[in-house]
């Protein structure tokens, strides 16, 4: 599935936020603000709402009409916003050390730290940074691989080859072809990192990565420790999956191409970035033909339109007691790729005005993978809708992982029984073999993703801190992919390449740790919702479709937004204040036993 969504930070993809931690002599003379902290935050909320609408309109235009004019509109909107934000943050700093209501203090902190990006307090550099990010986004969105002047392939076309072909050389061409778009990004990204770090240091952080890690209601160091702890909980399951997948690929392509004691070549896993492996399920199916949930055939046979596929997801949320989406959602969303222009096809969910103007942007195809992505994206929309009564600065997820986890939690309830109930498959089977088959399909998405979800930001943290120098960008990228994923490039890569830029979230400056955390939280949320729905039996067999009890508690958590620390929000639903990956182990217990049997006698690890 495509695992990205436009949250607040994504909405303002090219925003150059800026702050200054040192006041000039002139400012020091005006150190006592005329407004109280509460009055100041009230004004920020009012003005921020206007900016939200303008920035998202410009961002939507840029994403759905990629041309020179939309680039100008987007860059100018972000530049103007950055100037406003710079002045307001300087005012906000004057309240440091004053007594104020806890909610006012939280709002001030969020305002100063709510972006993925800060720029130096310099008009020219701020403008330069906004333009760089606009350029990078455009380079990615319009990227193609051209064999000749009249033979070019877009990313969706190249993804189809990676997903469907079993020809080693064709896969290699598609994999290399997409990565021709990113080398021109390298110098721009290097300059972007310099500007971002300069801004972060003015803001009081060691670097941009330090600032990112400080967004989680804990210190930067504590957050690093927390993500490491969560990975350690699930690493044994990933290693068993990797070992089995490698052995099967060795049978298909030959051990000369897939050595059974080394990493897996990155182009053989069915996904352009080897982040999820479900498209090679046909090579790995444990019990061939047992309980094949062929949702793709149903979607094609019944000729589901993109809108009908979205209606299916809407119906699930409504079954939990949530509202049907507003008419404007259906009028203004982009469900299909236009024939007359370049767009960013990556699925994303938007709330353009912070209130009711909900939209999704996708180039929907008739596949089960796309259907699950739709259920995921509507999770963002329903979260945005639930917290829209909060003050503007609190209209966001408890942390980024929460926002990504909502829709994924619902996807876990798309069980075979649910698919039968809504007419997407005709029948299902409950045998042990059927369960293992289904768990293998899910693990190729969810478990395979976990190390990738962790390493993207670790690479950027190293770039921002200086541990990874520009001369080592690609080397460090593949070292991390080897360390966490056990994969390697299929051909030699050098610093003439810039493979990180071939992943949207790097040129788009979208944090990726949120997706790793989401893959933990979704199972933790699912376990709690199943308890509320009074489900009896194995966790993997639970669907909360139609459970108003689960839906009421779920929605109550969503309404909280970012108004309190995420630990409070988590406790509101689950009763615990700690993220816990043990639900993943519970959910995949049948598969873990199967993998251990299959891997007996094999040399696992890399």
CB 445 within 8 A of CB 241: no
CB 284 within 8 A of CB 248: yes
Q: Is the residue at 262 inside a domain?
A: no
Tell me which residue of 274, 37, 293, 73 sits closest to 171, measured CA to CA: 274
- The total of other beta-carbon atoms located within 10 Å of residue 22's CB is 10
Domain span at 164: 153-180
25 shares its domain with 174 = no
Same domain, residue pair 174 and 187: no
Determine, yes or no, domain membership for 423.
no
**In angstroms, rounded to a whole number, what is the distance separating the alpha carbons of residues 330 and 334?**
9
Instruction: Render the burial of 475-509: b for 16+ CB within 10 Å, e for the rest.
Output: ebbbebbbebbbbbbbeebeeebbbbbbbbbbbbb
- Tell whether 65 and 158 lie within a shared domain: no
Does residue 161 share a domain with residue 68? no
Positions of the chain with pLDDT under 70: 1-33, 114-117
Q: Are the CB atoms for 260 and 602 separated by under 8 Å?
A: yes
Number of other residues whose CB lies within 10 A of the CB of residue 308: 13
- Evaluate whether residue 443 is within a structural domain: no
Residue located via tokens 């109550």? 556
Report how far residue 208's alpha carbon sits from residue 4's, in angstroms, rounded to the nearest whole number. 21
Instruction: Provide the number of structural domains found in the chain.
Output: 2
**Distant-in-sequence, close-in-space partners of 301: CB < 8 Å, separation ≥ 6:** none
Residues 91 and 142 in one domain: yes
pLDDT at position 28: 38
Model pLDDT, residue 174:
97
DSSP helix/strand/coil, 56: helix
* Euclidean distance between CA atoms 418 and 432, whole angstroms: 19
Could you count the other beta carbons within 10 Å of the beta carbon of residue 96? 10
Residue 334 lies in a domain: no
pLDDT score, position 554: 98
Residues 169 and 146 both lie in one domain: no
Angle formed at CA 36 by CA 44 and CA 27, multiple of 5 degrees:
80
Question: At how many degrees (to 10) do helices 155-164 and 168-178 cross?
Answer: 150
The answer to whether position 171 is within a domain reads yes
For residue 217, the tally of other CB atoms under 10 A from its CB is 18
Instruction: Kindly state whether residues 122 and 49 are assigned to the same domain.
Output: yes
* Residue 284 near residue 595, CB atoms below 8 Å: no
In a domain, 102, yes or no: yes
- Examine the domain organization and report whether 161 and 96 are in the same domain: no
Q: What pLDDT was estimated at residue 31?
A: 54
Residues 63 and 204 placed together within one structural domain of the fold: yes
Determine how many CB atoms are found less than 10 A away from the CB of residue 310: 24
CA angle, 371 as apex, 365 and 374 as ends, to 5°? 100
User: Is residue 170 domain-shared with residue 48, that is, in the same domain?
Assistant: no
Here the tokens at position 198 are: 């300069």
- Could you tell me if residue 439 is inside a domain? no
Judge whether 92 and 107 are in contact, CB under 8 Å: no
Predicted confidence at residue 118, as pLDDT, reads 73
Sign of CA dihedral 137, 139, 142, 143: negative
38 and 162 housed in the same domain: no
417-443 pLDDT per residue, tens? 999 999 999 877 778 999 999 999 999
In a domain, 130, yes or no: yes
Please report the pLDDT score of residue 117 as a whole number: 65
Last residue of a domain, one of 212, 227, 254: 212
Residues 109 and 165 in one domain: no
């Amino acid at each position: 599935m495509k695992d990205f969504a436009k949250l607040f930070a994504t909405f303002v993809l090219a925003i150059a936020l800026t702050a200054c931690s040192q006041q000039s002599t002139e400012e020091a003379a005006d150190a006592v603000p005329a407004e109280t902290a509460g009055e100041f935050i009230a004004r920020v909320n009012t003005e921020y709402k206007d900016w939200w609408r303008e920035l998202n309109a410009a961002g939507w235009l840029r994403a759905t009409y990629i041309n020179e004019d939309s680039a100008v509109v987007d860059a100018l909107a972000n530049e103007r916003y950055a100037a406003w934000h710079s002045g307001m943050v300087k005012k906000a700093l004057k309240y440091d050390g004053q007594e104020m209501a806890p909610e006012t203090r939280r709002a001030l902190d969020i305002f100063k730290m709510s972006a993925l990006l800060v720029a130096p307090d310099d008009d020219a550099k701020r403008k330069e940074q906004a333009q760089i990010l606009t350029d990078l986004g455009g380079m990615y969105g319009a990227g193609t691989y051209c064999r000749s002047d009249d033979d070019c392939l877009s990313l969706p076309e190249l993804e189809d080859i990676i997903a469907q072909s079993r020809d080693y050389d064709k896969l290699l061409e598609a994999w290399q072809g997409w990565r021709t778009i990113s080398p021109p990004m390298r110098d721009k990204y290097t300059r972007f990192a310099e500007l971002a770090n300069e801004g972060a240091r003015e803001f009081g952080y060691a670097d941009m990565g330090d600032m990112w890690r400080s967004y989680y209601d804990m210190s930067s160091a504590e957050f690093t420790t927390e993500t490491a702890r969560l990975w350690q909980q699930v690493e044994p399951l990933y290693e068993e999956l990797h070992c089995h997948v490698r052995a099967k690929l060795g049978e298909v392509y030959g051990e000369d191409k897939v050595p059974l004691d080394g990493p897996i070549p990155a182009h053989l896993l069915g996904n352009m970035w080897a982040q999820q492996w479900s498209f090679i399920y046909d090579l790995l199916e444990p019990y061939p033909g047992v309980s094949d949930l062929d949702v793709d055939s149903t979607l094609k046979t019944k000729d589901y339109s993109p809108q009908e596929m979205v209606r299916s997801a809407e119906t699930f949320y409504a079954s939990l007691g949530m509202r049907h989406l507003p008419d404007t959602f259906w009028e203004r969303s982009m469900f299909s790729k236009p024939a007359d222009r370049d767009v960013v096809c990556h699925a994303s969910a938007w709330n353009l005005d912070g209130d009711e103007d909900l939209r999704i942007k996708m180039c929907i195809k008739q596949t089960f993978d796309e259907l699950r992505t739709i259920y995921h994206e509507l999770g963002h929309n329903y979260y945005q809708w639930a917290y829209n009564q909060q003050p503007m600065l609190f209209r966001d997820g408890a942390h980024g992982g929460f926002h990504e986890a909502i829709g994924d939690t619902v996807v876990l309830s798309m069980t075979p029984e649910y698919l039968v109930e809504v007419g997407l498959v005709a029948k299902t089977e409950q045998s042990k073999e059927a369960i293992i088959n289904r768990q293998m399909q899910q693990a190729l998405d969810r478990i395979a993703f976990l190390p990738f979800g962790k390493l993207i930001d670790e690479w950027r943290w190293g770039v921002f801190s200086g541990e990874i120098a520009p001369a080592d960008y690609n080397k460090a990228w593949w070292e991390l992919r080897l360390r966490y994923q056990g994969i390697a490039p299929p051909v030699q890569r050098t610093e003439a390449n810039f493979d990180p830029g071939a992943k949207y979230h790097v040129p788009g400056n979208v944090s990726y740790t949120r997706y790793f955390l989401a893959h933990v939280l979704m199972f933790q949320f699912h376990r709690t919702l199943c308890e509320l729905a009074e489900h009896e039996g194995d966790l993997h067999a639970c669907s909360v479709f139609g459970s108003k009890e689960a839906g009421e508690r779920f929605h109550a958590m969503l309404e909280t937004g970012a108004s309190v620390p995420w630990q409070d929000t988590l406790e509101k639903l689950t009763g615990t204040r700690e993220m816990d990956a043990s639900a993943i182990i519970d959910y995949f217990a049948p598969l873990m036993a199967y993998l251990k049997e299959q891997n007996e006698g094999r040399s696992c690890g890399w």
